[in-house]
């Protein structure tokens, strides 16, 4: 896809998210991630830096197919705010925004990945996609506008417990959805699992 065609597609998707969804789903499933990286001008995986805390998982992008399932089964809409916990280079936040029109916030602790995510948002001209630098487990407490929290297995153990404790007050104000890829949440009385299409994805709704 040429740079001009990419800019045209992104511009149309900003006004009508169905345009981008149709373009993505018209690509064979096995080729969707390569197509997305071409459109987003992403070239390979960035190296993790010394800012990655012990116990956190090195950056690995989530598949486009899993994110399509998140959008469908969590019912992500333009009125939502999608919070990517451990946002990496901003790929998931940008994709969900383009698929749905939802606002999106990436929380990322590694400065190099934060810069890459901000560059991506600026390059694609996505003003409703923001990136905040810091420990996602702690920053989650301040995401009062968040309605969909997404975790592509960024951490476990004590950090996961801290994250859940920090979003519980948000969940007590309204229903939120917590979507996890390759991660099961420890039981919490204020969260209930929802039906999902595969073992790869788990979706929880607050009670």
Retrieve residue 201's tokens: 């994805």
Question: What pTM does this model have?
Answer: 0.91
Q: Are 151 and 85 in contact (CB under 8 A)?
A: yes
The pLDDT assigned to 17 comes to 86
Which class for 198: exposed (0-12), middle (13-18), buried (19 or more C-beta within 10 A)?
A: exposed
Q: What is the mean pLDDT of residues 153-174?
A: 94
Q: Which are the contacts of 6, defined by CB distance < 8 A and separation ≥ 6?
A: 39, 41
Q: Round the average pLDDT of the chain to a whole number and report it.
A: 91
The answer to whether residue 11 scores a pLDDT higher than 80 is no
Render pLDDT for 133-156 as a digit per residue (tens, 0 to 9): 999 999 999 999 999 999 998 888
Render pLDDT for 31-64 as a digit per residue (tens, 0 to 9): 999 999 999 999 877 776 676 676 677 778 999 9
CA quadruple 204, 156, 52, 137: dihedral sign: positive
CA-to-CA dists, residue 26 to 21, 30, 179, angstroms? 8, 11, 25
Q: Tokens 């709704």 label which residue?
A: 205
């Amino acid at each position: 896809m040429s740079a001009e065609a990419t800019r045209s597609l992104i511009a149309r998707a900003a006004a009508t998210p169905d345009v981008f969804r149709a373009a993505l789903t018209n690509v064979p499933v096995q080729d969707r991630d390569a197509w997305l990286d071409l459109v987003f001008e992403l070239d390979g995986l960035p190296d993790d830096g010394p800012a990655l805390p012990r116990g956190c998982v090195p950056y690995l992008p989530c598949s486009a197919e899993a994110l399509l399932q998140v959008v469908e089964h969590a019912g992500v809409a333009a009125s939502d705010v999608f919070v990517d916990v451990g946002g990496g280079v901003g790929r998931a936040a940008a994709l969900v925004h383009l698929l749905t029109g939802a606002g999106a916030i990436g929380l990322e602790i590694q400065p190099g990945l934060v810069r890459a995510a901000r560059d991506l948002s600026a390059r694609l001209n996505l003003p409703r996609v923001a990136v905040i630098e810091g420990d996602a487990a702690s920053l989650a407490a301040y995401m009062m506008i968040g309605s969909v929290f997404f975790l592509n297995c960024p951490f476990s153990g004590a950090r996961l417990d801290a994250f859940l404790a920090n979003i519980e007050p948000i969940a007590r104000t309204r229903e939120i959805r917590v979507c996890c890829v390759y991660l099961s949440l420890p039981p919490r009385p204020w969260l209930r699992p929802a039906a999902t299409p595969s073992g790869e994805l788990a979706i929880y709704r607050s009670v």
